[in-house]
Amino acid sequence: MNRAWEDVIAAELALDESSQSQPLLEQIVNAKPSRCVGAEGLGMAAERLADMLSCI
């Protein structure tokens, strides 16, 4: 969470306060490989989420 919050602050210009949907901010934050509990090494959030959902 700390890294995600730091990414949001760093990408403040991408934040659209008038909208709940934040596609530009989402793209910026999720474009970086990150670590995830239960998964080894670095990976992309969308890919890890898709993998987890496919197991359900």
Domain count, the chain: 1
User: Nearest-CA neighbor of 29 among 51, 6, 52, 47?
Assistant: 6
Write the CB contacts of 4 (distance below 8 Å, at least 6 apart in sequence): 29
* pLDDT of res. 3: 67
Chain centre to alpha carbon of residue 19: 18
| pLDDT tens series, the chain, 56 aa | 566 667 666 767 677 778 888 888 778 777 888 888 888 899 998 888 899 899 99
Write the CB contacts of 45 (distance below 8 Å, at least 6 apart in sequence): 30, 34, 36
Range of the domain at 41: 2-54
pTM check: above 0.85:
no
* pLDDT of res. 16: 77
C-alpha distances in Å from residue 54, one per residue of 10, 17, 25, 48, 49: 32, 33, 26, 10, 9
* pLDDT of res. 41: 92
* pLDDT of res. 32: 81
